[in-house]
Structure 1
Amino acid sequence: MSNVPPTPASLRGAVDLSSLVNRPAAPAARGGAEGDGAAPSRGARGTTSLVVDVTDETFTAVLDLSREVPVIVDIWAEWCGPCKQLSPILEKLVEEYAGRLVLAKVDADTNPQLTEAFQAQSIPTVAAVIGGRPVSLFVGALPEAQVREVFEQVLQLAEQNGVTGSVPYEAAAPADEQGEPEPEPLPPHHQEAYDAIEAGDYQRAQEAYRLAIAQDPRDQLAVAGLAQVSLLERLQGATLADIRSRAAAGPEDVDAQLAVADLDVSGGHVDDAFDRLLTLFPALDQAGRDAVRTRLLDYFEIVGVDAPSVTAARRRLTMLLY
């Protein structure tokens, strides 16, 4: 999930990455200088791949590159359903910008230092590095149109900071010219949900995900997608000030506390949301407990059932239930 995309004026450095700047670069991986995973790799025609995998050890090269061109950082994991929805959007849009942006992908499971440095409490977490400085962008999967808006804001901020370069790039040939198979299409209901999200029709997206789950109750991507879209719909039209003031005025108001927990999850503050609801839980009647438990289970799907914060919250919930 995500915050509303920031304006250029509100984009700000999130953390101090100086400890990573001084780390020596790791030796080349993936077969030498043309694929070390630390910086865009040069192709046969002197062009550059715009999507690269980076690690705790190779991130120094990203900081150096960010002084020439803005670098988008995607912190993801293989088990994360929303990551699989967002990553293709990020890669597609970076390719469209044809060298004005580079995408650095960070596997959260194998790169704990970067995950901690970017304060990635839930994934996917998306940030940028501009001129060696980190910039918070958003958490969770956003529709393509909103991601495009964020990228435009990143480029504006980069220009304000004198980062206006680009990397040599030549678009890949169509799949049929490369002799490569086309990517498998999404299942019909997933595609319908994706299209509905793009159009901002969250109710239709929910209906599509529910149909997918009815056909296959083990479809975890559909379960996570439904929870995510439901959160988007609940936050649609809401204002941060109203939600916060209502929660402050009603510390025992279940609906008010659920709303502010939604806001926390959308901003990546999942531990705050978990603690808020689990602290409230013992004082509630059965209806209130059922509502909180249902919402927590949705959050677990959004964040990722294997995430450490989810494991801790699930354990605490079990102790309260029994």
Structure 2
Amino acid sequence: MSQQPFSRPGAIDLSGLRNQPAAAPGAAAPGAEGSTGGAYSVVVDEQNFQGLLESSRTAPVVLVFHAPSRSPESSQMARDVETVVAEHEGRFLAGSVDIDAVPSIAQAMQIPQVPLMLVILDGQPVTQPIPGPAPIDSLRTMFTQLAQQLTAQGITGRHAPRSGAPSAEGEEPEADPRYAAAQDALGEGNIDLAVAEYQKLIDANPADTEAAAGLAMAKVLQRTQGVDLNAAREAAAQAPDDIDAQTLVADLDLLGGHVEDAFNRLVELVRRTAGDERNKARTHLIGLFDAVGNDDPRVIRGRQNLASALF
């Protein structure tokens, strides 16, 4: 599965779906085949669809359209999406839509096939429809890249856990207040202030891994402000051993979702350099590992490759 671009302008207006008539009782029962009913998942029906759209004002909602009776693999993908979404602890909320149980939603959104995913933010799609099926590792890669793009655009809200309750209704959850100042700064485009706020959190609690990841990503944004991508790539191509040129392109690759390209570029730079230059490239790469997260399989591979390049 290829990654879809995350773009807010020009999204399709879904406001007309908010006035769908109520479904008949039992039309889409909780615990349907495509849903595990987890803390960050919900079975979608016509009654809770409006609430789901409202939830997307806090953080993205991922709608997965499936048909258990006709396409068992589509329901497996819906379950896999819920698993991966849960790993992001509120960055996304998974909505499982059985198109046989709620055909009106699928028809209104012109769903051509199953399985199919849509990422919704502020009540509107922000990616092109993403077809499946897809292996769970591909889904993990896609959601990690989407999360990075969200952070890069200052979209840092999180859904509150639903304790397994399959309902999209209720009050809008609040973001963790510890990160509010840094997240507000990102949302306002004040990257320097965001870096300062995240640094305060790290100074107060060096074990705060979420603040560490936020600081690392904010520093990537800080270093790439106003940079011309094409000019940066040309400069790096002309000076393959220039530390500043290569680390800048690695930052740009990371923001663009090309995580492994960023890691590989710097691993090879470490391999080719020595002394202070090697240490500078190594330190920069470790910062990118922090931005992505130490549990990400690409980071694990990147650390292994770095160790090989060093020794």
> Could you say which TM-score interval applies, normalised by the shorter chain?
0.5 to 0.7
- Is the 1:29–1:36 contact (alpha carbons within 8 Å) kept by the matching residues of 2? no
Paired letter, 2:44: S
| 2:32 counterpart of 1:32 | yes
TM-score by length of 2: 0.60
Q: Which residue of 2 aligns with 1:298?
A: 287
TM-score by length of 1: 0.58
Paired letter, 2:272: A
Q: Secondary structure at the match of 1:120?
A: helix
1:86-106 CA distance string (max 9 Å, x none): 448xxxx95743xx5599xx9
1:158-214 CA distance string (max 9 Å, x none): xxxxxxxxxxxxx94547xxxxxx647421xx2110111111111111111111011
Q: CA offset at residue 242 of structure 1?
A: 0.7
Relative contact order: is structure 1 or structure 2 higher (C-alpha 8 Å, sep ≥ 6)? 1
Q: CA offset at residue 283 of structure 1?
A: 2.6
Distance in structure 2 (CA, Å) of the matches to 1:237 and 1:75: 37
- Is the 1:243–1:260 contact (alpha carbons within 8 Å) kept by the matching residues of 2? yes
Q: Which residue of 2 aligns with 1:259?
A: 248
Paired letter, 2:197: A
| 2:144 counterpart of 1:141 | no
Q: Secondary structure at the match of 2:212?
A: helix
Gaps of 5+ in 1: 9-27, 64-72, 127-137, 148-170, 176-181
Distance in structure 2 (CA, Å) of the matches to 1:274 and 1:36: 35
Q: CA offset at residue 262 of structure 1?
A: 1.0
- Is the 1:124–1:141 contact (alpha carbons within 8 Å) kept by the matching residues of 2? no
Name the Cα RMSD after superposition: 4.6
Q: Which residue of 2 aligns with 1:186?
A: 177
Q: Residues 39 and 213 from structure 1, CA distance in 2 versus in 1: closer, same or farther, beyond 3 angstroms?
A: closer
Distance in structure 1 (CA, Å) of the matches to 2:227 and 2:82: 27
The residue correspondences of 1:1-322 to structure 2 (distance < 5 A) are 5=7, 30-32=30-32, 41-42=44-45, 49-50=52-53, 51=61, 54=64, 60=74, 78=86, 80=88, 84=90, 86-87=91-92, 94=120, 96-97=122-123, 101=125, 113=135, 115-116=137-138, 120=141, 123-125=144-146, 139-143=149-153, 172=169, 174=171, 183=174, 185-187=176-178, 190-322=179-311
Distance in structure 2 (CA, Å) of the matches to 1:119 and 1:246: 33
- Is the 2:247–2:281 contact (alpha carbons within 8 Å) kept by the matching residues of 1? yes
Number of residue pairs aligned between Structure 1 and Structure 2: 237
- Is the 1:94–1:102 contact (alpha carbons within 8 Å) kept by the matching residues of 2? yes
Gaps of 5+ in 2: 11-27, 54-60, 94-118, 158-167
Distance in structure 2 (CA, Å) of the matches to 1:102 and 1:59: 25
- Percent identity between matched residues is 28
Q: Residues 275 and 142 from structure 1, CA distance in 2 versus in 1: closer, same or farther, beyond 3 angstroms?
A: closer
Distance in structure 2 (CA, Å) of the matches to 1:286 and 1:39: 53
